[in-house]
């Protein structure tokens, strides 16, 4: 999120990083009207959708990294639940009407202030109609997945884990980040 140069409340250019009274983090504060600029992480919600051992991937048409393949996912909108956002992104990016099965991965990327929440889901209907953010979308068998063109290593790890877990018939929930994390199995 770009740092504002002017106060969005009163238009003053006198913004300074300060610790608000009783707060734990420094914030950009307006010296004229006491507006406090909070910057909080963004949430990306998406789905891993498997059907008959094949996995739904979409090819990005837009930056970052156009041409790479990824799970359908995108930024949550205000007023939306994570589940609704995930299903909406699947619809927009693949034209698939999906239904959530369970959470699958809660993955934090604190370096860029993003949190990915990925659900297991099933496809109810495939229309073949998708939006301009997608070049192509397809169900891939594991051996056909374009492994070298997957958008981000964490997405690759989610796919690899799902393929293993499907063989075992037991699905876990990952919580963590790039450096450390744990797969939780609930009995």
Applying CB under 5 A, what is the total number of residues that bind Zn ion? 8
10 Å Cβ neighbour count for 45?
Answer: 26
Positions 56 through 85 that interact with Zn ion (CB under 5 A): none
Q: Is residue 106 part of the contact set for Zn ion (CB under 5 A)?
A: no
Judge contact between 119 and 83, C-beta under 8 A. yes
Give least dist CB 110 to Zn ion, A: 29
Give least dist CB 4 to Zn ion, A: 10
Cα separation of 169 and 20, whole Å? 51
Give least dist CB 146 to Zn ion, A: 50
Q: Is residue 32 part of the contact set for Zn ion (CB under 5 A)?
A: yes
Beta carbon nearer to Zn ion, 35 or 171: 35
Q: The tokens of 39 are what?
A: 């910057």
| Residues contacting 83, CB < 8 A, separation 6+ | 45, 100, 119
Q: Is residue 7 part of the contact set for Zn ion (CB under 5 A)?
A: yes
Q: Is residue 31 part of the contact set for Zn ion (CB under 5 A)?
A: no
Give least dist CB 2 to Zn ion, A: 17
Give least dist CB 37 to Zn ion, A: 10
| Residues contacting 37, CB < 8 A, separation 6+ | 3, 4, 8, 15, 27, 28, 29, 30
Phi, psi of 113 (to 5 degrees): 55, 55
Q: Which of 29, 30, 58, 98 binds Zn ion (CB under 5 A)?
A: 30
| Residue span binding Zn ion (CB under 5 A) among the ranges 12-20, 36-44, 61-69, 179-187 | 12-20
**Terminal C-alpha separation, the chain:** 40
Cα separation of 177 and 181, whole Å? 6
| Residues contacting 136, CB < 8 A, separation 6+ | 58, 59
Q: Which of 4, 17, 19, 33 binds Zn ion (CB under 5 A)?
A: 33
Contact positions vs Zn ion (CB under 5 A): 7, 9-10, 12, 30, 32-33, 35
């Amino acid at each position: 999120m770009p740092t504002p140069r002017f106060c969005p409340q009163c238009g003053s250019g006198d913004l300074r990083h300060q610790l608000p009274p009783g707060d734990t983090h420094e914030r950009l504060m307006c010296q004229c009207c006491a507006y406090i600029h909070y910057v909080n992480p963004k949430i990306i919600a998406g789905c891993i959708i498997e059907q008959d051992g094949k996995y739904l991937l979409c090819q990005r048409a837009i930056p970052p990294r156009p041409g790479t393949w990824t799970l359908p996912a995108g930024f949550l909108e205000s007023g939306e639940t994570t589940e609704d956002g995930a299903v909406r992104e699947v619809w927009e990016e693949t034209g698939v009407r999906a239904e959530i099965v369970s959470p699958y991965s809660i993955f934090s990327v604190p370096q860029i202030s993003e949190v990915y929440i990925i659900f297991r889901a099933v496809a109810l209907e495939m229309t073949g109609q998708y939006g301009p953010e997608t070049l192509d979308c397809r169900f891939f068998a594991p051996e056909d997945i374009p492994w070298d063109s997957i958008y981000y290593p964490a997405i690759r790890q989610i796919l690899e884990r799902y393929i293993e877990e499907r063989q075992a018939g037991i699905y876990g929930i990952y919580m963590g980040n790039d450096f450390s994390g744990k797969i939780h199995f609930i009995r």
